[in-house]
Amino acid sequence: MKRLSSQILRSLSLVAALGLGGTMATKGWAADYVVLINKANPTELSGDAAVDTIRQLYLKELSNWPNGLHADPFAREGGSPAQTAFINNVLKMSPTAVTDHWTRVKQTKGETPPREVGSERILFRLIGKFEGGFAVVSAEEAASAPDTVKVLLTFSD
């Protein structure tokens, strides 16, 4: 019972922190997303600095967070609403441009795209396991995130 209560409180805290109290229910068309990072990652970025850093880390233009931690980006399944919103709003690229980017990077640097993870539970586990881990999830999914992750960035599609 105590565990369930702490999970409910954590979910309510995240919903309050995201300012989602009722917005998704009243605006069923609104698609809100968050970029989650490992809770132990001391990175404190916001606004354009957060977007630029996440973009560079995801595209592997940078390999470390500003604090020196090795970055471990994870992707959602291609074509999923969260991944599509991330590509459009954070990477600011088309899906074709992203595919072209990874083809070029693989040929020139031998780097591969971030691992695709469909299940948010597995994604939460991976972000919690790797101190430099990060990924995009819907705000609805983020409401059930464990206490091993925290929100770095929020955005709407």
Q: Tens digit of pLDDT for each residue in 63-85?
A: 999 999 999 999 999 999 999 99
The continuous run of DSSP H or E covering 148 comes out as none
110-145 residue pLDDT tens = 999 999 999 999 999 999 999 999 999 999 999 999
pLDDT digits (tens, 9 = 90+) for 22-53: 333 323 324 499 999 999 999 999 889 999 99
As a whole number of angstroms, the distance between CA 13 and CA 141 comes to: 14
Q: Is the pTM of this model over 0.95?
A: no
Other Cβ atoms less than 10 A from the Cβ of 85: the count is 19
| Count of domains for the chain | 1
Structural domain including 7 reads 2-156
CATH number of domain containing 104? 3.40.190.10
